[in-house]
Chains A and B, each alone.
Chain A
């Protein structure tokens, strides 16, 4: 009587199969088991187009190719892609992707013309130049930088997805609140009277938000 060998277990749904492979047997034996299992179940899968994922045993690229060949010669299935479930690789991909996207967001920008009135809220994936005022009670959110060619009296939130290099510039900087990445700063309770009206920049340094006049040396320090 043939004993049921569980060195190869096939799990699946409508879109993909997970092939659970035992790490204990040799690769040659494994190939035999794979051949048999898939031959037995080929009627079940018919001409399905599937994604595949391997579990339980680390396979080299060559080994993976061999297994795929076995599956395809013993069934009518079409394996469309291999899904790899490696947490380290996933983390690396994620970090690189997010960094690249952040750089893109910072380097590209768009323009918005008009007065942002109280109650209005605008969100931008890219940096934005607002040609107009941002009134008290209005809000601008950007994953990049925010430049207001007018008065900023409302709330500005730059670097909304975590970019600490983001900055806010305004010709008349009197914001209610400024946020850069994860840091919030609020305006003083008693506003300074008779301030000179000049362009100012708000940026993040050592976990604090600084607001300084926009002069040459500060501009030099801006990092995109």
Chain B
């Protein structure tokens, strides 16, 4: 029986879609059967970040409305045959599906997949309610900025009110240089405010911008961000993985001396 995990944040632009794509791909690299669902109806992005937009024939709304079977709408990933994407509709809006329908869909997919990742839209309205409907766990993504943390706190409150059993924190786009200067919150500061278990810290990394533009998730690569995402996938799968030392720089010398072999 599969696990349904919703990736949410409240604030927009903090890295939900990027996290869904990379963690999902990471789980697939660990030989799990994974499906990613873009629940942001009307503003779909997950297909772009996965590089699968030209393969879309049917979408989530088609499936819910019964225009096609789930199998017809699922798109197999370019690189991993055990990874699938259920894209969202771009021409509808978030009132096109109800939480009850999402719950039914999640239950159906549980039979076939090990992990079902729901990419949640920003906000706390219908889109959010749809995305959390069938979920067992939640990943709350935030950046170490006051406004993002404020919104994350709100979201965590709503998740608790909706009796979400397990909620984990992902601190994204951390810049250690700014933290050292005292210009940015550390991941400890964020965790202290939000008071939920930390499942991953992803450093700010230029290669993410490149990877999302090109539609190739960088999880598993040697970049710090790539390794951080892989660690999140491994922790979700049950491994106990120590947190990366983000003070490390991706310098030529560290590659030479094998420092980046540490997980």
Q: Residues of A with Cβ closer than 8 Å to B?
A: 115, 117-120, 133, 135-137
Q: B144 to nearest A CB, angstroms?
A: 15
Given known contacts A119-B154, A137-B150, what 4 new A-B pairs fall within 8 Å (CB)?
Answer: A117-B156, A118-B150, A135-B193, A137-B153
Which residues of B are found within 8 Å of A118, using beta-carbon distances?
A: 150-151, 153-154, 157
Is there contact, CB below 8 Å, between B195 and A119?
no
- Lowest 6 CB-CB distances: which A-B pairs, in order? A117-B157, A118-B153, A118-B154, A119-B154, A117-B153, A135-B153
B65 within 8 A of A: no
Secondary structure type dominating chain A contacts: loop
Which residues of B are found within 8 Å of A135, using beta-carbon distances?
A: 153, 193
B177 within 8 A of A: no
Q: B38 to nearest A CB, angstroms?
A: 26
Which residues of B are found within 8 Å of A115, using beta-carbon distances?
A: 195
B245 within 8 A of A: no
Chain B: how many interface residues by the 8 Å CB criterion? 10
Which residues of B are found within 8 Å of A117, using beta-carbon distances?
A: 153-154, 156-157, 160
Closest A residue, CB atoms, query B195: A115
Closest A residue, CB atoms, query B160: A117
Q: Determine the distance from Cα of A119 to Cα of B150 in the docked complex, in whole angstroms.
A: 9
Q: A140 to nearest B CB, angstroms?
A: 14
| 18 pairs of residues in contact across A and B, judged by CB atoms under 8 Å | A115-B195, A117-B154, A117-B156, A117-B157, A118-B150, A118-B151, A118-B153, A119-B154, A119-B157, A119-B158, A120-B157, A133-B195, A135-B153, A135-B193, A136-B150, A136-B153, A137-B150, A137-B153
Q: B129 to nearest A CB, angstroms?
A: 15
Q: Determine the distance from Cα of A118 to Cα of B149 in the docked complex, in whole angstroms.
A: 10
Closest A residue, CB atoms, query B10: A118
Q: Determine the distance from Cα of A119 to Cα of B153 in the docked complex, in whole angstroms.
A: 8
Complex interface bits, B163-196 against A, C-beta within 8 A gives 1, otherwise 0: 0000000000000000000000000000001010
Which residues of B are found within 8 Å of A137, using beta-carbon distances?
A: 150, 153-154
Q: Determine the distance from Cα of A133 to Cα of B193 in the docked complex, in whole angstroms.
A: 9
Q: B102 to nearest A CB, angstroms?
A: 23
Q: Determine the distance from Cα of A117 to Cα of B160 in the docked complex, in whole angstroms.
A: 10
Which residues of A are found within 8 Å of B150, using beta-carbon distances?
A: 118, 136-137
Which residues of A are found within 8 Å of B153, using beta-carbon distances?
A: 117-119, 135-137
Which residues of A are found within 8 Å of B193, using beta-carbon distances?
A: 135
Q: Determine the distance from Cα of A117 to Cα of B156 in the docked complex, in whole angstroms.
A: 8
Q: Determine the distance from Cα of A117 to Cα of B151 in the docked complex, in whole angstroms.
A: 10
Closest B residue, CB atoms, query A116: B157
Which residues of B are found within 8 Å of A133, using beta-carbon distances?
A: 195
Closest A residue, CB atoms, query B182: A193
Complex interface bits, B112-135 against A, C-beta within 8 A gives 1, otherwise 0: 000000000000000000000000
Q: Determine the distance from Cα of A137 to Cα of B10 in the docked complex, in whole angstroms.
A: 14
Q: Determine the distance from Cα of A143 to Cα of B158 in the docked complex, in whole angstroms.
A: 26
Q: Determine the distance from Cα of A135 to Cα of B155 in the docked complex, in whole angstroms.
A: 13
Which residues of A are found within 8 Å of B160, using beta-carbon distances?
A: 117
